[in-house]
Structure 1
Amino acid sequence: MNNFKKAKGFVYRNARPLDLARFRFHFENGSADEVLYALSFYQNDDGGFAYAIEPDNWNESSTPIGTWAATMILREIGFSDTSHPIISGILKYLDSGKDFADGKWFNTVLGNNDYPHAVWWKCDGAGLPADNPTVSLAGFALRFADKASALYRKACEIATKSVAEFMKNPTDECHTVRCFADLLGYCEQIEEFNLFDINAFRNAIIKKVNETICKDTSKWAKEYVCTPSFFNFKKNNIIKCIDLKLCEYEAEIIRNAQLPDGSYPVTWQWYTDYKEFEIASNWWKSDIIIGNMLYLRELGKI
């Protein structure tokens, strides 16, 4: 049985409806409407997202990270209808000022502590403003908010300041680098974009992506490290700027790392006493499968 068939079997037996809809969209001509319908059940009345849409955080109140996770799914399926309640709701949440301070949205929020969560989502204090997910959410607002709105002006200010800081002193934290890559992808979709030098920003992103990839390939698929597939996102084609031999090497690792049930190892723990990690881990496996199959397809391996 080949990698894809085994992976498909695991998804159909184990995935949440949202991830099954994503899988069907990418590999079985499923509709975007199926994905949107499943996604809508993770959205709160304030427009933000919650309910373990990011499986390591089970907070039932909206969070910037949960909302960021929803925006990634919208990008993944290429959905851009600003009149849809999912997008208009996200814009409402971002415009509300909730979970925002010092020019940034929070990475962790106090409410996380009331629900099962990984140790990195534990919140000390009122909340932690951070570039992850701020710069990605700012990109979403630049792409979709009304240009006459206060939210659009806020996004312009955030993006301009964040990119200037990145160009001077780029981060080494892989999740934050990916958020900056998200911002690049949004900006490249905007006609006549002139907020900053997008070509210089793109070159800086490519350089930092290549520097961020873990050079010790023995850790790939075994430890939580940054690999080429971490940046596989067709909307900005960053993957095409990584050494092809390195990408193909990871493809072979992915093929060989598949478990007998069709899934792949989850290479992290919560480092807490919450037993819900076992459930979250199983949810993550379908998400990992989707990412791996998209990566293999991008490289012509399936």
Structure 2
Amino acid sequence: MYYEQARNFIYRNARPLDIARWKYLFENGSKEEVLIALSAYQNEDGGFGNALEPDYWNPNSSPVQTWVATEIIKEINFNDKNHPIIQGILNYLSSGKGFDGHTWLNTVTTNNDYPHAPWWHFETSQEISYNPTACFIGFILKFADENSKIFELACVLAKEAYSYFKINFPMESMHTVSCFVELYEYIKESSINELLDIEEFNTLLHKQIKHVITYDTSRWAVDYVCKPSLFIGTKTSDFYMQNKEICDYECEFILNTQESDGTWRITWSWTDYPEQWNSSKNWWKSDLIIKNMRYIKAIRS
């Protein structure tokens, strides 16, 4: 049941982008179809907006919505440094918009002008956050020209980020931890892994992941909690073997909690904009279907 019902929901309800992602991941679709759909969310400054992240409908470019675009690029394993979408993102990150000299902002002022979840509301005082900055650092190190100013900046920021990670270890924010896992993975696959002590980073991340995963699995179906799939997407992950039991359990959990329409329960909500939330909830259902199916395919294969 799980595949056909999930597929039917995607084709009946998903955005063109998510249909393209589904087709690429499970039906031999093309990367180009995903990129064409993704480009509809990109603005002239190279950043992304327009509710690419379904929890806020800000049409203006923002760091978090741009980060979502980088996640989709990673999902389809796209590596063309010269592609207009990649170059646009690098231009946006180079522009200084939403950047304080050390981190990119987690929320931006224009969020407040459009429907959004309460956690994306802009407040004048923001705590330092490496969500999504740690991911951007890795993205720049992978895609930017090594002679460019943005690449040089990313090398400096990588050391700052790692220092912050060690000072604040262990962290409690699962999303920030996931950004540091991605930074580790970007650096590990690059030719510049001498930037950081990659072995030490690996050791700390093993401990950090175990610290933040929610092991009380009775909460998984009803609360917004931390599951291993946030950090571990394949059996080749450096963090799979030490977390194999809970990763395998998540596969069984996914299979056992699918609803009759092919979806999985969304465990968060926002109430200020009920009409927009109804649409966003549907978009999240499609996104969760794709992520759950991708996880099952990767871990059970």
Same fold (TM over 0.5): yes
Cα offset, 1:206, TM superposition: 1.9
1:68 is aligned to: 67
CA contact (8 A) 1:139 1:183 kept: yes
Task: Give 5+ residue unaligned stretches, structure 2.
Answer: none
Task: Give 5+ residue unaligned stretches, structure 1.
Answer: none
Structure 2 Cα separation of the partners of residues 269 and 76 of structure 1: 25
CA contact (8 A) 1:50 1:67 kept: yes
Residues 142-173 of structure 1, C-alpha deviation per residue, up to 9 Å, x if partnerless? 11111111111111111111112212322220
Structure 2 Cα separation of the partners of residues 244 and 233 of structure 1: 12
2:263 is aligned to: 263
Structure 1 Cα separation of the partners of residues 25 and 242 of structure 2: 23
Change (3 A) 1:200 1:271: farther
1:55-204 aligned at under 5 Å gives the runs: 55-125=54-124, 130-170=129-169, 171-204=171-204
CA contact (8 A) 1:146 1:152 kept: yes
TM-score of the pair, normalised by structure 1: 0.95
Does 2:28 correspond to 1:38?
A: no
Structure 1 Cα separation of the partners of residues 125 and 92 of structure 2: 18
Structure 2 Cα separation of the partners of residues 224 and 256 of structure 1: 18
Which one-letter code corresponds to 1:194 in the other structure? E
Greater CA drift, 125-134 or 10-19: 125-134
CA contact (8 A) 1:110 1:126 kept: no
Q: Secondary structure at the match of 2:104?
A: strand
Residues 193-251 of structure 1, C-alpha deviation per residue, up to 9 Å, x if partnerless? 21011121122112211211102110112211001122233497155144222122222
Q: Secondary structure at the match of 1:166?
A: helix
Structure 1 Cα separation of the partners of residues 133 and 3 of structure 2: 35
Q: Secondary structure at the match of 2:193?
A: coil
Which one-letter code corresponds to 1:155 in the other structure? A
Structure 2 Cα separation of the partners of residues 147 and 274 of structure 1: 46
Q: Give runs of ≥4 in structure 1 deviating > 6 Å.
A: none
Structure 2 Cα separation of the partners of residues 11 and 232 of structure 1: 24
CA contact (8 A) 1:106 1:128 kept: no
Which one-letter code corresponds to 1:46 in the other structure? D
CA contact (8 A) 2:240 2:247 kept: no
Residues 18-57 of structure 1, C-alpha deviation per residue, up to 9 Å, x if partnerless? 1111111111100100100000000000000011111001
Q: Secondary structure at the match of 2:106?
A: strand
Q: Secondary structure at the match of 1:56?
A: coil
Q: Secondary structure at the match of 1:131?
A: coil
Change (3 A) 1:233 1:19: same
Which one-letter code corresponds to 2:283 in the other structure? W
Q: Secondary structure at the match of 1:159?
A: helix
Aligned length: 300
CA contact (8 A) 1:143 1:186 kept: yes
2:50 is aligned to: 51
Q: Percent identity?
A: 45
2:18 is aligned to: 19
Which one-letter code corresponds to 2:80 in the other structure? D
Structure 2 Cα separation of the partners of residues 223 and 242 of structure 1: 25
TM-score of the pair, normalised by structure 2: 0.95
